[in-house]
Amino acid sequence: MVQSIQILKSKIRPPVVTGIISRKRLYPLLSKIAEKALTVVSAGAGFGKTTLISEAGKALQLKSAWYRLEKSDNDFITLLTYIIAAIQTQYPQFGRKTILKMEAAEHSIHVREAVLAELINEMEEAVTDELMLVFDDYHLIKDSEEIKRTMEFILRHLPRKIHLVIISRTDPGLALSRLRAGREVVDIRETDLNFTLAETQELYSDWSGPIITEEYLKIVHHQTGGWISGLILFYHSIRDKGTETIDRLMKIKAGGKFISNYLEENVYELQSPKIQNFLIRTAILTRIHPEFCDLLLGISNSRGILENLEKNHLFTFSLDDGREWFGYHHLFQEFLLTKLHADLDSTAIKALHHKAAGLWEQKAEPDQALPHYLKSEDFKTAAAMLTRIGRDYIKEGRIQLLMSFIHQMPKKVLEQQPWILFSKAVCLEFQGKREESVPIYQKALHVFQQCLDYKGEGKALFALATYFIPPGIFHRQKPY
C-alpha cells in the first residue's frame, strides 16, 4: 500500500546552509524562477547548485517544497508519494485524493495518467501561492522511462503557480521543446555558476584566515576557473600557512588529480587517525545518523565528530533542521570511498557493508539494507530479504527499485530463487514486456516444482495460463 512507504523527513526539508555568499550577479537569472514553469540547474559536482537554489527561494520569498532524490526513488509510486509529502510541508491537506487514486491504481499501469490528472487537479485547488517545487539530485533517477513519462506529464499540465526546479549533474533528458518554444525554461549551467574574481574576493574575505593579496586571488581564481569547490580546497590549503604556499599554488593545475591531492593533503591528512577511520568507513552510507555510526564503528562520539566536521567546513552538512541526519559532499564522499578501497582489503570492506546491512535491517529499512548485503556479497541473505519483500514492493508499485536489486543478483543465485524469479516476471509484465516474462515464469515454475512449493507452482501456472489461454476462457471454467 502507498501508506507503507516510509517518508524520510530529511529528504523533503530544504537544505540547511550557513555562511553562504550572496550571488547578486545571478539575481536577474534567478528571478526568472518565479516567472517560468521550469528551471534546470545542470552542472557537475561541487558547483553550489543546491545552495544557489536555496538562496534563490529565500531571496524571491517563494514558498518551497523540496525533494532530495535517491537512486531508490526511481518508480512512479515513490516519486508521487514524495512529491505529495514535499508539498504537504506547505499545504498539509494536499494530496489526499491523489493518494486514494494511487491505492486503486497500484496494480494497473494503464490508469496512472488518471492518478497524475488527480495530482494536477489538487495542485490547482490547493496551491494558493507561488510555489517552488525542487527536485534535487535528479540525475540519480533520470534514466528511468517511468520517471521520464511522469515528469513530462506533470510539466505539460503544470499549474501556473507552481515552478519546477530540477537540480542535476547531467541534462535531465526530458522532452522540453514545447516549453522552450514558449520560453518557459530557465537554464543555469556551469558557466553561470563559476565565481568571478570579485565573487572570489568576497568569498575569501567572509572567511576567517589570512588576508589574500590581489596577486594570490588571481592565481587561485585562474587555477580553479571559479569553481566553488576548488576555491574551498585552495582556502584550506593556504589557511594558517602564509606566503610560502604561493609557489606551489602557481604550479598546481585544476582537475581530478588536483581535487584528490588537495583533499588528501589539506583535509584528510590533517585529521587524526581516529577521524580518518571514521570518515572512510561512514562514506559507505547514503545518509549518516550519529547513533547509527556509533553502532557501526563501536564508538560513542559520532555526533561530536560530525558537528565538528560541519563547523569547520570540511564538506559535511546536516540534512535536517533537527541535525539528526548528515551527509558528505559528493566529491568528498567519492574521495573517501577511494581511500577506503586503498586502505582496507576486500574482506574488511565486505564485513563493513555486512554490518551496515544488519543494522539497517534491524531498523526495518530494506531499501538501505539490501545494497549493503549485495556489496558484502552475502547473496543468500539478500535473496531471503528480496523474497520476503518482493511482493510488497510490487503492491507498492516500486517496480524499478525491485528490478534494480534483482539485476544485482548473480545469475547462479537468482536461478535458485523461485519467488524472486516470479517477482521479476511480474515486474516485466508491469513494464509492458509480457513476452519477456513468459520464460521467467517458466523458470520459476520449474524451481517451484523442484522444491515442492505448491503455492508458488500454482501461481506460476496461473500466470502462464493467462498468457497461453485465450482471453475470457477462465470465466467459462468452474473453480477448482
* Domain-embedded: residue 306: yes
**How many domains are contained in the chain?**
4
Where is average pLDDT lowest: 193-207, 231-245, 297-311? Answer: 231-245
All three cell numbers of 397, joined, read: 508499485
Are residues 138 and 36 part of one domain?
A: yes
Report how far residue 103's alpha carbon sits from residue 292's, in angstroms, rounded to the nearest whole number: 33
Q: What is the CATH number of the domain that holds 385?
A: 1.25.40.10
Residues 161-200: tens digit of each pLDDT: 999 999 998 889 999 999 999 999 999 998 899 899 888 8
Q: What is the pLDDT of residue 480?
A: 31
* Domain-embedded: residue 232: yes
Greater pLDDT, 18 or 374 = 374
Burial of 437 (0-12, 13-18, 19+ CB in 10 A): buried
Are residues 375 and 432 part of one domain?
A: yes
Are residues 108 and 70 part of one domain?
A: yes
Residue 5's pLDDT band, with cuts at 50, 70 and 90, is confident
The sheet with strand 38-42 has its strands ordered as 63-68, 131-136, 162-168, 38-42, 185-188
Are residues 311 and 239 part of one domain?
A: no
Residue 75's pLDDT band, with cuts at 50, 70 and 90, is confident
Are residues 96 and 28 part of one domain?
A: yes
Are residues 312 and 226 part of one domain?
A: no
Residues 114-142: tens digit of each pLDDT: 899 999 999 999 999 999 999 999 999 98
Q: What is the mean pLDDT of residues 346-364?
A: 96
Residue 476's pLDDT band, with cuts at 50, 70 and 90, is very low
Q: What is the pLDDT of residue 47?
A: 85
Greater pLDDT, 322 or 152 = 152
Q: What is the CATH number of the domain that holds 87?
A: 3.40.50.300
Question: Residues of the chain with pLDDT > 70: what percent?
Answer: 87
Q: What is the mean pLDDT of residues 4-18?
A: 81
Q: What is the pLDDT of residue 248?
A: 56
Owning domain of residue 160: 2-193
Are residues 278 and 421 part of one domain?
A: no
- 253, pLDDT greater than 50: no
Are residues 186 and 43 part of one domain?
A: yes
Mean pLDDT of the chain: 86
Are residues 122 and 185 part of one domain?
A: yes
* Domain-embedded: residue 349: no
Are residues 206 and 316 part of one domain?
A: no
Residues 208-233: tens digit of each pLDDT: 555 567 777 787 787 777 888 778 77
- Cell 513494464 belongs to 431
Last residue of a domain, one of 343, 358, 387: 343
Burial 255-268 (b: 16+ CB within 10 A, else e): eeebbbebbeebbb
Q: What is the CATH number of the domain that holds 300?
A: 1.10.10.10
Q: What is the pLDDT of residue 239?
A: 63
- 475, pLDDT greater than 70: no
* Domain-embedded: residue 348: no
Question: Residues of the chain with pLDDT > 90: what percent?
Answer: 51
Residue 470's pLDDT band, with cuts at 50, 70 and 90, is low
Q: What is the pLDDT of residue 362?
A: 94
Are residues 314 and 230 part of one domain?
A: no
* Domain-embedded: residue 357: no
Last residue of a domain, one of 193, 225, 246: 193
Residue 268's pLDDT band, with cuts at 50, 70 and 90, is confident
Where is average pLDDT lowest: 353-362, 411-420, 425-434? Answer: 425-434
Q: What is the pLDDT of residue 160?
A: 94
Last residue of a domain, one of 132, 158, 193: 193
Are residues 446 and 326 part of one domain?
A: no
* Domain-embedded: residue 29: yes
Q: What is the mean pLDDT of residues 373-397?
A: 92
* Domain-embedded: residue 350: no
